[in-house]
Amino acid sequence: MWKNLSKEDLDKAYNNSLAVTNSSEIVQSWVQSSISAKERLHGDRDISYGNSKSQSFDYFSAGENAPLIVFLHGGFWQMRSKDDFTFIAPPLVEAGFSVAMLGYRLAPHVNMHEIVQDVKDGLKAIAAHVKSKHHVSPKMWLLGWSAGAHLVSMVQDEESVLGGTAISGIYDLEPMRHCYINEKLQLDEISSVKNSPMLLKQHVSKPLDIFVGGAELPQMQKQSIDFSAYRNSINAQGIIKNIPEKNHYTILDELTDKNGEIFKALMARHVNRNSF
């Protein structure tokens, strides 16, 4: 369907900030809430795994035997940082999950292959850090929003990964190659194919739960629907849930609210199915 859109229409089809009139206010509230969260949380901050400041992570422990969640932020692979999303950590830590907030380098300074490699390197560094603190080799559940959801789905084959939760993600990068996002991302056909989960072999035994908002842009919803259909066709584990009335930004309320659909799904994975 997207191939029939003009460049202008395709730009609009993936412009989440334009589609949500108060998106800047929502993001600013995340930043302020994250500053407050950092003041309340005790943890290890800005642990480096590379030469760039962005190649770092924060680790907030809920105890030696706590299950570990690693969060990957969004921003179309070219903006924002882990520090803008610390607000998601307190409810998870309070529920008994240790949380690592993983940063990575951004376009245009690096390409997509390098971004994915950063995530892989970061996961190894997190595992080593947790092992040094708790003397166990941790398994981790990945959690990502927007571009972070794409990255979660790209690294499911990592040994330490148990599965993941992908929120409002992009799983076919080819439309990105033809719209405004590629001005900084600089995808070519080869890198688009090699980094599109929709076109890649899936780790069918590792659950990947997919969430998207019912008030999101149609092309964003289609990305989640199509990726879930692909995974279902090969009997890969995981659920898909469209959350009514939630847009690309307000969907994160379902993660930070302990009665939210995403939060409850994480708890169900841990408590009922013992996935992690």
For the stretch 232-246, pLDDT in tens is 999 999 999 999 999
Number of domains in the chain: 1
Beta bridge partners of 72: 102, 144
Question: Residue 24 class from Cβ within 10 Å (0-12 exposed, 13-18 middle, 19+ buried)?
Answer: exposed
Q: 């971004």: which residue's tokens?
A: 115
- Domain membership flag for residue 160: yes
Q: How far is CA 23 from each of CA 16, 20, 250, rounded to the nearest angstrom?
A: 8, 5, 9
CATH code for the domain of 123: 3.40.50.1820
pLDDT mean across residues, the chain: 96
CB 146 within 8 A of CB 210: no
The helices-and-strands tally (H runs, E runs) of the chain is 12, 8
Q: 């760039």: which residue's tokens?
A: 52
Provide the pLDDT for residue 273: 54
Instruction: State the Cα–Cα distance between residues 120 and 226, nearest whole angstrom.
Output: 25
pLDDT reading at 106 higher than 90: yes
pTM score above 0.85: yes
Provide the pLDDT for residue 55: 98
- Domain membership flag for residue 38: yes
- Domain membership flag for residue 276: no
Provide the pLDDT for residue 200: 98
- Domain membership flag for residue 182: yes
- Domain membership flag for residue 44: yes
Provide the pLDDT for residue 270: 86
Provide the pLDDT for residue 272: 62
Domain carrying residue 245: 2-271
